[in-house]
Structure 1
Amino acid sequence: MGIFSAVLGLPLAPVRGVVWIAEIVRRQVDEELYSPAAFRRRLENIEEARASGQISDEEAAAAEEQVVAMMTGRGTSGGTE
């Protein structure tokens, strides 16, 4: 039965490969987006933008709230627009 399964499953090998790569990419993206270091970088970027006058205090507060919501799982949108 093993050789029969292998022969019939061979056409699906490229699909399995794509699914495997997609899973690896998804894990990497999740790690980069939701790691503590990523949240810290976002907060630091917000603070730098506020300090340099690129965004107002109100915009910085809203962006920080969005990052905190993402950290706690309450927010699903990304970015600090």
Structure 2
Amino acid sequence: MGLITEVLLLPFAPARGSIWVLGQVLAEAERQYYDPATIRAELARLEQQLEAGEIDETEFDRREDELLDRLETSSRSGAGTGNGTTG
């Protein structure tokens, strides 16, 4: 039965392969998005932008809240590697 199924589904092999690749890309993107080291680096850049006058306090607070929410989600779910690499 397995061989017959594989033969019948052979025309769909490229689609299945593409779906697998997309799944892998999505998993890696999520890992990087929730990586604590990446989030801390973004927080540091955000603070530099504030100090340089590139953004105002309101924008800083909004973006800082988003980053801190990501960091909290990361610590709760164990997402990201936290090994200091940013990709």
TM-score where L is the length of structure 1: 0.76
Opposite residue 54 of structure 1, the aligned amino acid is E
Give ranges in structure 2 of 5+ residues lacking alignment.
74-87
TM-score (norm 2): 0.72
Q: Which runs of 5+ in 1 are unaligned?
A: 74-81
Tell me the number of residue pairs that the alignment of Structure 1 and Structure 2 aligns.
73
RMSD: 1.5
Alignment of 1:12 with 2:12, yes or no, is yes
What are the within-5 Å matches in structure 2 for residues 31-50 of structure 1? 31-50=31-50
SS at match of 1:55: coil
Identity %: 30
Deviation larger for 57-66 or 10-19: 57-66
Q: In structure 2, give the amino acid aligned to 1:10.
A: L
Structure with greater Cα Rg? 1
> Matched residues in 2 for 1:11 and 1:62: separation?
49
Report how far residue 11 of structure 1 moved: 1.2
Deviation at 1:24, TM superposition (A): 0.6
Higher relative contact order (CA 8 A, sep 6+): 2
Cα drift, residue 20 of structure 1:
0.5
Q: Deviations over 1:26-48 (max 9, x none)?
A: 01110111111221121011111
Q: CA offset at residue 61 of structure 1? A: 2.1
SS of the counterpart of 2:55? coil
1:54 counterpart SS class: coil
